[in-house]
Amino acid sequence: MGAHHPESPARLSAIQDQLLSCGLDIVLQHHDAPLASREQLCRVHDPEYVEHIFLKAPEEGQAWLDPDTCMNPHSLTAALRAAGAAVLGVDLVMTGQTNAVFCNVRPPGHHAERNRAMGFCIFNNIAVGAAHALQVYQLERVAIVDFDVHHGNGTEDIFRDVPEILFCSTFQHPFYPNTGTNVVPEHIVNVPLPAGADGQAFRAAVESHWLPRLEAFQPELILISAGFDAHVEDDMSNLCLVDQDFAWVTREIKTIADKYAKGRIISTLEGGYALSALGRSVAAHLDALLG
């Protein structure tokens, strides 16, 4: 998105380097993400919006979708693969080839609304995966949990009237995109955290608000919008989480998945812009997923 944009290719390199250095890479299977189809995208995005993105994709230079989000000649392919990774992840866990998937992808997705790109996001990757699970595998209860520092406004917008999706989100507030505090249906659980909140506050929010609702919902599949920009080293925000907070919440989610969803989890990368902290946090997240 530009030489000084925080949503850069270096994010994925930092993660891969950390997985190699800590030895996790050798115990992981690797898959190339396919391109999401228009049919898969249009389950969660208006067809007119999808067409707009295809037409907006530049052959050279940049095309801005909002003040934070632009496309270069390679962005459409990257966005299609980011959404396609979530689809493949669902296929892998639903066919029993594995029980947990991490999609190391960019651009992120959880700010992309049904008909609007924003916040570095073009297509809503996690929503595309969840809709694929509902449509193709006829699941009745899918949970999405989002611990990015920013509220997943796009995911809420897409599934606001879909009670088969339980959406649980923690985020800093007040903060971009300044959503998440309005009245919502019962299947949406928003937990705003004040600037300066630490791991203890985050864990209390998850224990008090997320876990009881997940237990009552008994999801058949859990998807994670895994944003690591709430880390204390990330200057994109003012929350104060550390590596082990992400490991802790992953273990809690895994416990629910093991109990109700046959262990099936798909996690997809959202935010996280302090490269060292991002790599370490993803490694802690994957270590917890591996058990």
Q: Active-site positions?
A: 111
Distance, CA of 3 to chain centre: 24
Angle, to 10 degrees, between the axis of helix 125-137 and the axis of helix 75-94? 40
Cα dihedral sign for 186, 187, 192, 198? Answer: positive
**Inter-residue contact 245 to 204 (CB < 8 Å):** no
**Gyration radius of the chain over CA positions:** 17
State the amino acid at position 159 in one-letter form: F
Could you write out the DSSP letters of every residue in 209-241? IIHHHHHHH--SEEEEEE--TTBTT-TT---BB
State the Cα–Cα distance between residues 201 and 213, nearest whole angstrom. 18
What phi and psi values does residue 167 have, to the nearest 5 degrees?
Answer: -115, 120
Q: What angle do CA 95, 285, 169 make, to 5 degrees?
A: 85
Distance, CA of 214 to chain centre: 18
